[in-house]
A = this chain, B = another copy of it.
Amino acid sequence: MGGVLDKAGITEAALRLIEKKGYDGLTMAALARSLNVAPSALYNHVKSKRDVLLLVEDHLASLVDVSAFGAGPWEDAVRTWAWSYRDVFSQHTPLIPVIAVLPVTDAPQTLAMYETVSAGFRDAGFPEERIVSSIVALESFIFGSAYDVTAPADIFDPGTMAEATPSFTGAVRSLAEQGHERPADVAFSLGLEALISGLGGLRG
């Protein structure tokens, strides 16, 4: 037995490749080349490219910081988790469509994250039947916000349509004048605090 390849090695190589060349550079051929192997050899270890993305996703889930659950107030734990979750996946937005439809059975690290977060919600007094929905709501916000981080700075520039859209143009200009370094962070903070206080009210 004992070939050169295994799932851990493939995951590691894929992450290196993504870091160096981005998701466009992550092809089965390039992945194989980085492992000094023929592309077809990969298929002895993964069923498809989607499988590779799944391995990467699950590894990233293990990087999300859930350490604050059980180590302080629920609000602080959610805040730490959410910011960390967003930061990790803002560098990996092409995975978001994959995660969103991914059965957790296939992703043990992701499942482990859910377990820690669920326990944190339960201990904070959430009724059991609302825990999953609350996490899903937060996660949806986090995924959507991860895209914002990568958006171009001038995404909201109305260009030639400025006169036709006075309210929007004024709002964009007014935000720009605040001179925030990362506008995406302002929106994320605003939404996250709203969700934390709104969902926090569900606790018994």
- Contact residues of A with B, CB < 8 Å? 93-94, 96-97, 100-105, 108, 111-112, 114-115, 118-119, 121-122, 128-134, 136-145, 147-148, 150-152, 154-161, 164-168, 170-172, 174-175, 177-178, 183-184, 186-188, 190-191, 193-195, 197-199, 202
Q: Main secondary structure on chain A at its contact with chain B?
A: helix
Q: Which 7 A-B pairs have the closest CB atoms?
A: A194-B198, A140-B144, A137-B191, A100-B147, A105-B159, A144-B144, A136-B187
Contact pick for A97, options B94, B114, B194, CB 8 Å: B94
A112: nearest chain-B partner, CB-CB: B165
Please give, as numbers and ranges, the residues of chain B lying within 8 Å of A133 by CB-CB distance. Answer: 175, 183, 186-187, 190
